[in-house]
């Protein structure tokens, strides 16, 4: 009987460790994606700006991650990028459908939970 009990405890311990490891991996993967995005745009000459939630007409509660980058701020060739990663794909679809024709949100694309718009080159870099 003790042998069966020991096996159960061992099995539950292994399952708990696996669940915790998977959860940690998910958090690290999300952080890595955000860091990689920021680094990609920084290397291309974009400076991170505070994200204009009101101007973008997006509810902060629906957003997992938002990035606004600006390049050539003091020239006639200003480039901007706005990246919004929503909590759900449905929120991303709803936002995309509602704003795809907005003139102040050019070159808009949607990929999964992310909606991206801005200068043509910046969106292509995404």
Instruction: Give the integer Cα–Cα distance in Å for 33 and 35.
Output: 5
CA 55 and chain centroid, separation: 19
* Ranges of residues in the chain whose predicted pLDDT is under 70: 1-2, 4, 6, 10, 12-13, 16-18, 20-32
Residue position matching structure tokens 């096996």: 7
Enclosing domain of residue 68: 2-125
pLDDT of 93: 97
Residue whose C-alpha is closest to residue 45's, from 84, 78, 85, 82 = 78
pTM of the model: 0.72
pLDDT of 100: 96
**What's the total number of domains in the chain?**
1
pLDDT of 8: 73
């Amino acid at each position: 009987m003790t042998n069966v009990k020991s096996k159960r405890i061992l099995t539950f311990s292994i399952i708990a460790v696996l669940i915790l490891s998977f959860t940690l991996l998910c958090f690290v993967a999300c952080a890595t994606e955000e860091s990689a995005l920021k680094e990609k745009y920084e290397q291309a000459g974009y400076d991170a700006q505070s994200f204009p939630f009101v101007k973008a007409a997006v509810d902060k509660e629906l957003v997992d991650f938002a990035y606004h980058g600006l390049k050539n701020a003091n020239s006639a060739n200003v480039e901007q990028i706005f990246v919004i990663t929503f909590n759900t794909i449905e929120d991303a679809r709803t936002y995309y459908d509602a704003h795809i024709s907005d003139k102040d949100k050019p070159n808009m694309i949607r990929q999964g939970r992310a909606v991206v718009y801005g200068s043509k080159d910046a969106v292509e870099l995404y």
